[in-house]
Structure 1
Amino acid sequence: MPAWHHQLLQLDDIQLSLYSQGPTTGYPVWLLHGFPECWHSWRHQMQALADAGYRVLVPEMRGYGQTSAPAAAEAYDLISICGDIQSAMDKLGHQHCAVIGHDWGAPIAWHLALLEPRRVQAVAGLSVPFGGRPKRPAIDMLRQHYQDRFHYMLYFQTPGVAETELEADLPRTLRLLMHGMDTSAGIGNGLIEERPAEGGWLSQRHDPGTPPDWCPPDAFAVYLETFRNGLRGPINWYRNFERNWQRTESLAGRAIEQPALFIIGDNDPVGELEAFTIERMPALVPQVEQHVVENCGHWIQSQCPQQVNSLLLDFLQRHIRQE
């Protein structure tokens, strides 16, 4: 039998699927997954944090798994997704907590720290740094810089295009993304390419045939089940850069003042893409501690769980006092 508990929380406008583990009286630690991930990507952290006495809460984010997937693309803006977690915290009576996010979950964690400076007492982001609110929507800058080249975020903008390609053979898609987001794998990630913007993303790439070692068959089955209703909801997260920019106007220039942790793998292609943001992050997150995990790609909490668990536990033990 699994050690975790599953429940469906009815929030104001969606139903949130939530997995939890650890003593019900433990200090709440929220773990937020990214794309194309699932709650099960945190399985190693759930056990380690629960063993340390924390109450671990892992939602299936909006659009994923058993959580509601609204049809409208604008339902997936950053503030709305933060609102899901805030509403769940309210429903569970969490006055204080720590929030940890990976990939897309990291921007949600960073912004929850901004929106909830009293409730969120410590925050951690894995793989994606905090860069603050840009001077104009990020999508505008991408369109300017990559107008003659392929960029996966631009490819995601037209509804239905990416979904048709990526859903055609979902196991292949997941295998390619799991292997490709590690620069040491040698198969390339295809995030940005020197080719015309038209055309598919993964169609010309060679299928590795099996998931990487860090995703055994039972875990891979959970990923597949997460996306059995398709990828429209998860990809809609990428269709809200302008709306995100508009809705975060009140947060412009705000620093994250809480104790903060940033972890990235040395073979994560995001490290190169976001090098400038990582370098300047201490100006925006004064208490941030930054760590690079060696021989590790983008799916850091699954690929290098022992190193990640050690860093997270040390960070929480120094900054969170359990009752």
Structure 2
Amino acid sequence: MVNPTDFPEPTLVPVNGVELEVFEAGRENVGNPIVLCHGWPEHAFSWRYQVPVLAAAGYHVIVPNQRGYGNSSRPAEVTDYDIEHLTGDLVALLDHYGYEKATFVGHDWGANVVWGLTLLHPTRVDKVINLSLPYPERGETPWIEFMEQVLGGDFYFVHFNRQPGVADAVFDQNTSRFLRNLYRKNEPARAPQPGMALIDLARAEAPLGEPLMSDGELAVFVSAFESTGFTGSVNWYRNLDRNWHLLADADPIIHQPVLMIYGDRDMVAKSANLAEFVPGVEVVSLDSGHWIQQEKPEETNQAILKWLEQQAVTSRLVQRP
């Protein structure tokens, strides 16, 4: 477990019309940037096990709380959280530090943003490492419409869109309980229940499985969401169909080298045709649930460092006269 006081002190960085709360390590490694993008409902602190290891390996580690999270800006308009705004923040963050491109690492929703960034701003992305969420294929039907047809109105992506504000209010009323019940590992398998699963989770008296983190670590997440509420972060989900339209003209193929890290016990499904859209992908699967880099930090770090070193060797060989 990591003591929260060991995490870097943040700075507020103006980007793209908002301010992002950014945590940095390895500033002495200027010129070798790696940007870590958290998921939902997370925080930059979710990368606490990766930050010191990557800095020690020679990287300038940049970890933003993305818009809607922590002490970063929380715009009021739902459309301020679409993929153009979220990726625009990361481009502006590179500009702030004077970088043309960087390696981007994303987990969960952060992975979705990194996929979108690579499609919309391919010249700013050097390499991609994504955890949990594989490349989201853009089919013929907008994503929320498709999910509603297949998974029904209670599926949380759909519920967030069709009943705006309902789930946010429950999360806000039960912040500590919701996050305690959500951040678990080794949960027993159970049959799907009717109703909106995350609302039920936020109200559940007893959590399943084992705690993912210490009370002190959990307190970082609880404190952040007690301060911000959940609406800004849930607004990311409310732009999925808008994002589907915004990505219509993008080249759907990811041309950069990619490491995809799955958790074998993650409820997010693995992609059956990942290499079709990500031809340069290498896949690693860990014995983990959804919170991969927090549940299996050493294995995650080893996978990332091994792959980055392989990429560095390949790059040196290519550059030889």
Give TM-score scaled by structure 1 length: 0.88
Alignment partner, residue 230 of structure 2: 231
Structure 1's 224 and 87: CA in aligned 2 closer, same or farther, altered over 3 A? same
Alignment partner, residue 105 of structure 1: 110
Structure 1's 220 and 200: CA in aligned 2 closer, same or farther, altered over 3 A? closer
Instruction: After TM superposition, give the deviation of residue 3 of structure 1 in Å.
Output: 5.8
**Which residue of the other structure, out of 68, 83, 87, is the alignment partner of 1:82?**
87
Alignment partner, residue 250 of structure 1: 249
Alignment partner, residue 41 of structure 1: 46
Alignment partner, residue 319 of structure 1: 311
The CA distance in 1 between the partners of 2:33 and 2:198, in whole Å, is 45
AA in 2 matched with 1:186: P
Instruction: After TM superposition, give the deviation of residue 265 of structure 1 in Å.
Output: 1.0
The CA distance in 1 between the partners of 2:135 and 2:125, in whole Å, is 16
The CA distance in 1 between the partners of 2:25 and 2:199, in whole Å, is 40
**Which residue of the other structure, out of 289, 300, 306, is the alignment partner of 1:308?**
300
Mean Cα displacement is larger for which, 107-116 or 86-95? 107-116
Q: Secondary structure at the match of 2:294?
A: helix
AA in 1 matched with 2:219: A
The CA distance in 1 between the partners of 2:199 and 2:125, in whole Å, is 40
**Which residue of the other structure, out of 127, 131, 144, is the alignment partner of 1:126?**
131
Structure 1's 36 and 203: CA in aligned 2 closer, same or farther, altered over 3 A? closer
Instruction: After TM superposition, give the deviation of residue 163 of structure 1 in Å.
Output: 1.1
AA in 2 matched with 1:289: E
Instruction: After TM superposition, give the deviation of residue 145 of structure 1 in Å.
Output: 2.0
Query: Aligned Cα RMSD in Å?
Result: 2.3
AA in 2 matched with 1:262: M
The CA distance in 2 between the partners of 1:110 and 1:64, in whole Å, is 20
Aligned: 1:28 with 2:33: yes
The runs of 5 or more residues in structure 1 that have no matched partner are none
**Which residue of the other structure, out of 207, 219, 222, is the alignment partner of 2:220?**
222
**Which residue of the other structure, out of 176, 183, 186, is the alignment partner of 1:178?**
183
Q: Deviations over 1:121-140 (max 9, x none)?
A: 11011000003322221101
Aligned: 1:284 with 2:289: no
Please say if residues 27 and 54 of structure 1, whose CA atoms lie closer than 8 Å, have aligned partners that are also in contact. yes
The CA distance in 1 between the partners of 2:291 and 2:68, in whole Å, is 20
Instruction: After TM superposition, give the deviation of residue 300 of structure 1 in Å.
Output: 0.4
The CA distance in 1 between the partners of 2:199 and 2:216, in whole Å, is 29
Instruction: After TM superposition, give the deviation of residue 40 of structure 1 in Å.
Output: 0.5
Structure 1's 261 and 234: CA in aligned 2 closer, same or farther, altered over 3 A? same
Please say if residues 70 and 233 of structure 1, whose CA atoms lie closer than 8 Å, have aligned partners that are also in contact. yes
Instruction: After TM superposition, give the deviation of residue 95 of structure 1 in Å.
Output: 1.4
Alignment partner, residue 263 of structure 1: 261
The CA distance in 2 between the partners of 1:116 and 1:75, in whole Å, is 18
User: Percent same amino acid among aligned pairs?
Assistant: 34
AA in 2 matched with 1:20: E
Please say if residues 110 and 124 of structure 1, whose CA atoms lie closer than 8 Å, have aligned partners that are also in contact. no
The CA distance in 1 between the partners of 2:119 and 2:133, in whole Å, is 16
Count of residues in correspondence between the two structures? 307
Q: Secondary structure at the match of 1:279?
A: coil
AA in 1 matched with 2:241: E
Structure 1's 141 and 6: CA in aligned 2 closer, same or farther, altered over 3 A? same
Instruction: After TM superposition, give the deviation of residue 200 of structure 1 in Å.
Output: 4.1
Structure 1's 211 and 231: CA in aligned 2 closer, same or farther, altered over 3 A? farther
Larger fraction in helix: 2
For residues 134-213 of structure 1, what are the structure 2 equivalents within 5 Å? 134-147=139-152, 150-157=154-161, 158-179=163-184, 182=185, 184-186=186-188, 193-195=192-194, 200-202=199-201, 205-208=204-207, 212=211
AA in 2 matched with 1:151: F
The runs of 5 or more residues in structure 2 that have no matched partner are 317-321
